Amino acid sequence: MITYLYHKRHKHTGLNYFGKTIKNPYVYCGSGVYWTRHLAQHGADIETVNVWEFNDLKTCSEFAVEFSTRHNIVESSEWANLRVENGLDGGYTPSAYTQEARLKKGAKLKGRVYSEETLNKMRSHKGKSKGKNNAMFGRQHNDNTKELMRARALNRERKTCEHCKIECSPSNYTRWHGSNCKSK
């Protein structure tokens, strides 16, 4: 199996990423935690700077570690890598969620100078909860509406589980409880 090592660069921000794949390296964007978040924020407008092809994993690993060390990809703010690339690992990496990795990410963001436009966007979103983009979020109901809502909640049909005798709403029973009942 052919293993590829690649060097990618974001065209607008200049951030670099060094990674390994067995897929087409010119199409594959990369999977590092910091790198993928960067692409989600700034768009996937990237260029492939260099690609190396290996048939031998030992040679691949030696090259990857040497390249990582020579370019100081973990410590440098020019690189999105949170750990040394060894040419062997891939996919989910718990080491990317360590306290050390979080501190590195925070250090990269410290001292960053934002444009006035970006600062205004950040100020306008401050305090807003993510994922609450529907029209009802933050809406104030009058007393009459609140009473109607309470009455409907009290009169809702309930379904009793035949295994554990727990009462729940029909939608909750079909979506979750019916297939996850511990008494089955």
Q: Is residue 105 part of a domain?
A: yes
Output the pTM of the full model.
Answer: 0.50
Quick one: pLDDT at residue 91? Answer: 45
Q: Which amino acid is at 159?
A: K
46 vs 66: CA distance, rounded Å: 24
Same domain for 105 and 154? no
Same domain for 104 and 155? no
Average pLDDT (58-72) is 93
Per-residue pLDDT at 17 exceeds 70: yes
Q: Is residue 139 part of a domain?
A: no
Confidence of residue 92 (pLDDT cuts 50, 70, 90): very low
Q: Give the structural domain span for 176.
A: 150-180
Same domain for 100 and 45? yes
Q: What is the mean pLDDT of the chain?
A: 82
Question: In sequence order, which residues have a C-beta less than 8 Å from that of residue 80 and are 6 or more positions away?
Answer: 15, 16, 17, 32, 34, 35, 38
Residue 77's domain is classified under what CATH number? 3.40.1440
Quick one: pLDDT at residue 122? Answer: 81
Please indicate whether residue 105 or residue 148 has the higher confidence score (pLDDT): 148
Q: Is residue 165 part of a domain?
A: yes
Per-residue pLDDT at 131 exceeds 60: no
